[in-house]
Structures are given as C-alpha cells and as structure tokens.
Structure 1
Amino acid sequence: MQRYEKYKDSGVNWIGEIPEHWEVVKLKFLGKAIIGLTYSPNDLCSENEGTLVLRSSNLLNGRFVYGEKENSYVSSKIPEKLKIRKNDILICSRNGSRDLIGKCAIATANDEGNSFGAFTTVFRSDLNNYLFKILNSNIFKNLSGSFLTSTINQLTIGNLNSISVPIPPLPEQQTIATFLDDKTTKIDQTITIKEKEIELLKERRQILIQKAVTKGLNQDAPDLRMDRISDGENNPEILKSSKSRFRQMKDSGVDWIGEIPEHWEVRKLKYFIQNLEGGVSVNASESESAEADDFGVLKTSCVYNYYFEAKENKKVFENEKGRVSCQVRKGAIIISRMNAPELVGASGLVLEEYPNLFLPDRLWQTVYRNNISFDPVWLSKILINKGFRNYMTTFANGSSPSMKNISKGDFLNITVPFSPKSEQTQIVSYLEEIEEKIAKAISLKEQEIEKLKEYKTVLIDNVVTGKVKVV
C-alpha cells in the first residue's frame, strides 16, 4: 500500500505521525458521550412488557448480538436520549474483565429503539461511520485500557472525551470507511468459513466416536448383516464368505444406541461405577487460577470441551483451604451434574495427577468398581459421545430454564453399550488416532483465523492513523 507524501508529528503517542493535512481532535469536540441506563432487578420484565437493554455481553466483533442469555428487558420509562439511534457507537465502559473495556459495536436501523445499560456508554456523532473504525481499532482498545485503575475497571466519560483521534478531511473519511468496510467484510467472511469448517470437524469427530462406541470398528456391519445379503439364501459360498467378513448386529433395546454387534452387551453405568463423589463450595478468587503451591477448586467449565481442562479452576482463599474436599484423581471421569441444559453431564477424563485440585459441589468424579474389568478411557468416550449426551438431557430437571441438574440415580441407571475388553482397547486406540488428526486440523484452522484477525487489526490501525494511504 502507498504512503502519503508528507507527514507531521501528531503530538499524541498512540497516533504517532499523521499525514500533514490531517488534524488531531479530542472526542469531546466530535460528539457526545452518554452513560447507559441504571435499573434495578425490580425493573426487569418479559420481552412483551418492556424495552430491551443492551449490555457489554451484546457486543461481539463490532456488532450487536441478540440471544436469550444476553437479553434483559426493563419496564421503566426510558428517556429518549437513552434509546439507541442508528450509527450510535456503544462502548463497553465497565466490566469485571479489563480486557473487555473499550470493545464496541455500531448500531444499525434494526437496533434503534433499544436502550443500553450503565456499564456501557454511547458515543453519538455525525462522524460515527468513520469514528467507529478508530474506536474499533486495537490501538483504541489498548489506549482505553491505560485509563483503568487497579481498583476499578472503568472508562469514564471524562477519560473517553479526553482521547484524541486523527481526523482526515471528510472525503477521505468516506473513502477510508468504504475501503475498510469492504476489506474487513471479506476478512470476516473468510473467518466465518473457517469457523464453520472447524464446527464440521468437531461434528465429524462426534460421528466417529458415536459409531465406534456403539457399532465397533467394523463400520460395514450395520448395513451388511447376514439377513441383508440377498444372494446368501441361494448361494452357500456367498453366505460362508459373508460370515467371515461381517458380524451380525442385534437391537440393543435402547433408542440412543440402536443396533450393536451381536456379541456385545448393554449395561447400566452403575455396573462400572460404584459411586459418584463430589466436593463442596468454597470461597475462591474469580480472577486467579491456582499456582503450583495453591489449592484450586474446579470450575464447571473444566469439562465444557469434551475433555478435562485442569486450568479451569479458581484459587482457593487461604482461610478456606481447610474446607476443600474430594481431591481430583488421575483416571477418574469428572462430570457436571448441574449446568445449562446443553451442558448437564458434560464430562472429561483426568489423565494426570493434580494433588492440589478439588471438586466443587456441582461436579462429580467416578469411583469405579474393583471387580469389573474395563478400560476407563473407553468409558469416557461413551460419556462424551453426542448420542449419550442428548439422551442424558432428557433426565435433567429443575425449575430454571437456564439451569438443570441430574440425580446420581438417574445418571447411574443410564444404559450403555458394553464391548469386550480387547475391543475396548482397539476402539480407544482408533479414536485417539482419529482425534489427534482432527485436533491438528482444527489447530491449523484456528491459527489461520488468528492470522486473519491479526491482519485485520493491523490493517485498521494503519489506515485510521494514516500510516498507509487508501486510494
């Protein structure tokens, strides 16, 4: 890309040099910053009875997202100035996470009429289409973070108004905005494609796990049963050959399992698991994880991704160390007994020793029966397959639509397919090889996405500060 012919010092560290004909102007001279609506829990109401109040959780990748988990509606009368207008820039000005301060989104006509919460700030200006490119840049996010103190994560209106930004002549603003809209849209479209490819890989992994743990490794078996080989009745040689090549299947009697190899059995989980032990809730840090010498209590998120993540824990406060119970054990399967409906029963196998990690009351870990020979890794694959997870949610109960739980009795009485130990070993070996390949493919695509995001960030930063000339 080209550079401008002449540059001058902007006098602002974060901006550096700018084209000679550009200006540097504080935001307070370009528009008006408005702090969001303050409301109480008593003001909350149903969708049909109130006004939607957008929060920082509604801001994603420069746009507004709407969903059941993000939406809040209030019944109180909303002043006109606190109703969103087209091209308003909504900025996260206060949050528990410092990294989220400064993220923003620009409103479209579809967002008009909604309000915004007190932890957000609207910036309203005639130049918003161009200003959004600056405020959505990585440079601005880093700059807004410099105003935060150690005691409170907040970008005040005073600090926001004091921020200086580079302003080119209006025709260049329009050219820059159009250029960035085109480029970033194409980058975002490519990112979306790659994200969908990752989801397809994850779906493929689930399909392979489901087939392996319910049908075995002979993938032809379900469709090539003896009684489906039409020539077999009249051709003994074909019948004999078929017997050596394909195993017969039988109905498991369980909907989520379907047919299984004829020599397999079905067993309830209590056949393998003697008990499900859990911990207790203790006071712990919401922002710090346990270090080597600390005690940590697991978060339910430690099993969200179909495997166990030890880093998903909270550092236990010193005066609470005596209350922790149920130490995490290598070889046990950690299970979420209470969670959002789609995450009830999420689980993961513990592969290493973690002497300083403990369970909260919302997680279980398995205690196996000593007299039953089976591979715990094989059992963990059954518990993470999609068919099992979907079936298990039918047992989840609770009055809250966003929080469900499952009882020990219901969980241990779920029926699963039971293959011979030698086949369990083969299934585990096969799945670990497959999962490793898929994990590598996912990792490569994630790296590609990060590079695209980095390129997008650098592009925006360079263009809005005039380091490159848009023609």
Structure 2
Amino acid sequence: MSSVTEKFEDSGVHWIGSVPDHWSVSKIGYFYEVQLGKMVQPNKKSETDKLVPYLKAVNVQDSGLKYNDENKMYASSTDLAKYDVEKGDLLVCEGGEIGRSALVDKEYKGFVFQNSLHRVRSTFNNVQFLHYIMQAIRNSGYIDVLVNRLTIAHLTRERLIGVKIAIPNKGEQDVIVQFLNHKTSEIDTLIADKQKLIELLEEKRQAVISEAVTKGLDPDVPMKDSGVAWIGEIPEHWGLNRLGTITDKLSNGYVGPTRDVLRDHGIRYLQSLHIKQGKVLFDKKPYYVDESWGSKHEKSKLKKGDLVIVQTGDIGQCAVITREFEDTNCHALIIVRLKEHVGFGEYLNWYFQSNYGFFSLLSFKTGALHPHLDPGRIKNMKILLPPKEEQENIINYLNREITDIESIINIQKKIINRFKEYRQSLIYEAVTGKIDVQEMERKIEQEEVSSS
C-alpha cells in the first residue's frame, strides 16, 4: 500500500498517471476473463432449447443490478453454461450507458445475459476492484476515448479487454475495495438524506403555492363551497371564471417548420424547452430568428405579463414573460394575455404551478398518440380568481416564500454535487494508488477519538 516512502512511476496511461512502482500495469484482458453476452434468440433452434430469463443493459444501473421485468429468450444447454450469471460476477454495459457496471449480488440461477453486456470474472483478482476502476474510467471521461460517440457507440469486447489498467496484488485490492465500500456507502447515505430533504422542500413549495391560490392569505375571511371537490372551500368573494372570458389573447405561437427560420443571433425565439417551473430558462439552449421574420409574425410576439404554456412534450409547464423577453417570438406555446382589469399573468403563473391549476390544465389535453393542449379547449377551463389587489398581495407573498424555499433547495443541490465530486475523487485516488487507504482510515479514527 502506498505511503510517504512509496516509490511511484509513470503508468504510461494518460487517465491513470503515476502509480506505486509495485503495481502491475496491463490490459484488462490480462487480469480478468471477459465474455460478451448472447444475441437475443426469440425462437427455438432445436427441440431442447429452453425459454429462459435474461439480463440486459437497462438492468445494469449505477445503484446496482435491477431486474423487475420478464425478458426471455430461447437458449440451449450449451448457452446456459456459456452465458450463465453467478453471484460475484461483474456486468459491464457494451451498449446503452457504455461502461456502466454492476456487481451480481444475488443468485440468478437459470438466467443468461444479452450481448449488450459483458460478464467479467477472475480467480486471481478482485472483480469489485474492476467495478471501481470502471467508475473511475467513466468519471474521467476516458470512456469517450474508447468509443466513437459520433455514431452508435459500443464498448466491444476487443476494446474492453484492451483497456490498460493498474492494479496491486489481490490482498491490497481487497483492502481498497473494503475501504471504498465503506466510504462510498457513507457518502451515498449523506446524498440520500439531502435528496430526501429536497423532496420535502419541493412538497412544501407545492403546498405553499396551492394554499395561497385556493385559500388566499387571510385565515379569517368568510368561505364558501367552491363546487369543485379538488378545492373544497374558497374565499367567499372569489370567483370561478372561464379562461376565454377573462383574456384579450388566447392563441398559439408560431407552429410552422423552423429548419430555415432559426439563426445564430437576432430576435430571441422561445420554445418549450425554455419553459420550466414558472421560469424562462433561455440560456439552456438559445434560439434566434431574423428581426424581419419576427416582425412579420406578430401573432407569436410576446408582451410583458403574458403567460406562456407548453403545448406538447412537458405539457402544462408555464412561465410569465418579463421585460427581458418582451417582443420575443415563440414557437408552439400557448399565449395567455389577461384583460388588464382582471388580473396579472404573474398570478396565473403561480396558479398553474399549484396542484389544482396544473392538473386542471392537464385535464384538457387531447390527442391519444401526440397529447397536446389546444387554446380552443382550454378557453373553457374555470379559473379561480381573487380581486386584482389580492392577486398582487399573493404574488408578492409567493415571490418571497418560494424564493426562500428554492434558495435552500439550490444549496442542498450544491452540497449533493460536492459529495458526488468527492466520491468520484476518492474512487480515482484509491484505484490508482495515490492514497494509502489504511493510513487514511487511521487518521479518520484518530480524529474521531480526538473529537469524542
């Protein structure tokens, strides 16, 4: 195991760098036995062929091997012996999420594996050590060097067994694997806790929005039955209005082909991919049109305060148009412009982010093969609407409350990313011999004793 006195030498492999001089550097095929899986056989080739379950690339996940379907193919007795799956094997994706690997952690008696997977075994080396190496290869980006992603990428057996790696003797492999199992489990638990907190915060976000746009902000206001089971009681002075009666504009943006329309610069052109959770995220993938084209298509031009709703794909996502995006054009979005005396587009933006508003909108979708929203249909949906002054109070309240909640969520996401980066770094450092895991554990134990 490497230490302060350990001698290092260049491995000759770019993604690995230097390794302890007693580690061996060679191709995966030198250390491990690799078998590509069986091509799917939907029909019998002989009377003795059996219909058996099989594992494929989708079953190999970062969280482990997941089998919850009934994939079956025919296989001969020779196939069953050649393509069997045993506890302790490593399965590596040949296609799909290339290079992703998972350990077989239980018995899969009678199973075979498809040719979208490689099975890895070894008598002399720790297979789980290679599992961590494969994670390091993927995290380093070296997997993109191994396969051609400009076409349909595959990690063929020839390429996999030809990958150069560095490993110590099996005793050291076992120590490193034990260390990484322990540390990655701790990190994964911390990540899961943060993800659970994010889920709770998302639920709180939804509850705050839904409460504000269906009950208002005054807990003492007189209530009445809304007549809608989903809502229950609403403030007595609120009304239910057909969307078509409270809008000056309710129409599609531009819906024609855009192949010859889009430009690298010009007038910003909003599409469904820019609309997410009440916001316009234009920097995600900007599109533009010529100013002359934009001027000719007034129907698709947006004004400050307009609400845009995604028609197809992620149906029901919406955002209000701020001054920044005024006079932009839009594509295949529903434009909702409230009558000025009725209210604010920003209020509708919050309304459609509530459970009631969102699922009411989805109830108007049409088209079995290609579900979408149509302005002619949603004009008949009932909108729960408080007076304009009260809408403004709700807008201000939600802007404050939801900003605070989203700020906490974003902090948690950053923490998760740092945990993931640390996890990746730890795996890389351990499987390339750049840290002495035994010394590291000793230091951690000493720190724990000192702090207790």
Same topology, TM > 0.5: yes
Structure 2 counterparts to residues 148-227 of structure 1, below 5 A: 148-149=147-148, 151-152=150-151, 153-218=153-218, 221=219
Aligned equivalent of 1:269: 243
Structure 2 distance, partners of 1:266, 1:329, is 26
Q: Aligned in 2, Cα 1:399/1:117: closer, same or farther, shift over 3 Å? A: farther
Asked whether 1:353 is paired with 2:325, we answer: yes
User: 1:212 and 1:268, CA in 2 relative to 1: closer, same or farther beyond 3 A?
Assistant: same
Q: Hey, what's the Cα distance between the residues in 2 that align with 1:40 and 1:284?
A: 42
**For 1:204-232, what per-residue CA distance to the aligned partner results, in whole angstroms no more than 9, with x for missing partners?**
011010111111112xx2xxxxxxxxxxx
C-alpha change, 1:248 and 1:367, in structure 2 (3 Å) is closer
Q: Provide the secondary structure at the position in 1 that maps to 2:159.
A: helix
Distance 2:263 2:114 in 1: 33
Letter in 2 for 1:191: I
Question: Could you tell me which residue of structure 1 aligns to residue 352 of structure 2?
Answer: 383
SS of residue paired to 1:18:
strand
5+ residue gaps, structure 1: 43-48, 222-245
Change in Cα spacing, 1:304 to 1:121, as seen in structure 2 (3 Å) is farther
TM superposition score normalised by structure 1: 0.75
User: What amino acid does structure 1 have at the position aligned with 2:32?
Assistant: G
Distance in 2, matches of 1:166 and 1:405, equals: 53
Q: Shift of the alpha carbon at 1:147?
A: 2.8
SS at match of 2:155: coil
Quick check: 2:266–2:289 contact (8 Å CA) kept in 1? no
Alignment: residue pair count: 416
CA RMSD of aligned residues (A): 3.9
Task: Tell me how far apart the structure 1 counterparts of residues 40 and 255 of structure 2 sit (CA, whole Å).
Answer: 34
CA deviation vs aligned residue, 1:41-87 (integer Å, no higher than 9, x gap): 99xxxxxx98565335x5543424568xxx79465659545565444
- The AA in structure 2 aligned to 1:14 is W
| TM, length-normalised to structure 2 | 0.78
The question of 1:145 aligning with 2:144 is answered yes
Query: Per-residue deviation at 1:443?
Result: 1.2
Amino acid in structure 2 at the alignment position of 1:54: K
Q: Given that residues 253 and 335 in structure 2 are in contact (C-alpha distance below 8 angstroms), is that contact kept between their aligned partners in structure 1?
A: no
Matches within 5 A, 1:272-421: 272-273=246-247, 274-280=249-255, 282=257, 291-293=264-266, 298=271, 300-311=272-283, 313=285, 327=300, 329-330=302-303, 331-339=305-313, 343-351=314-322, 352-353=324-325, 358-360=330-332, 364-370=333-339, 372-396=341-365, 399=368, 404-421=371-388
Q: Which runs of 5+ in 2 are unaligned?
A: 44-50, 439-452
Aligned to 1:103: 100
Superposition deviation, residue 201 in structure 1: 0.8
Contact 1:62 1:104 in 2 (8 A): no
Equivalent pair of 2:263/2:289 in contact (CA under 8 Å): no
Deviates more, 1:256-265 or 1:449-458: 256-265
1:234 counterpart residue number: none
Deviation at 1:397, TM superposition (A): 5.5
Give SS of 1:384's match.
Answer: coil
Amino-acid identity (%):
27
Amino acid at match of 1:27: I
The answer to whether the 8 A contact 1:88-1:124 is kept is: yes
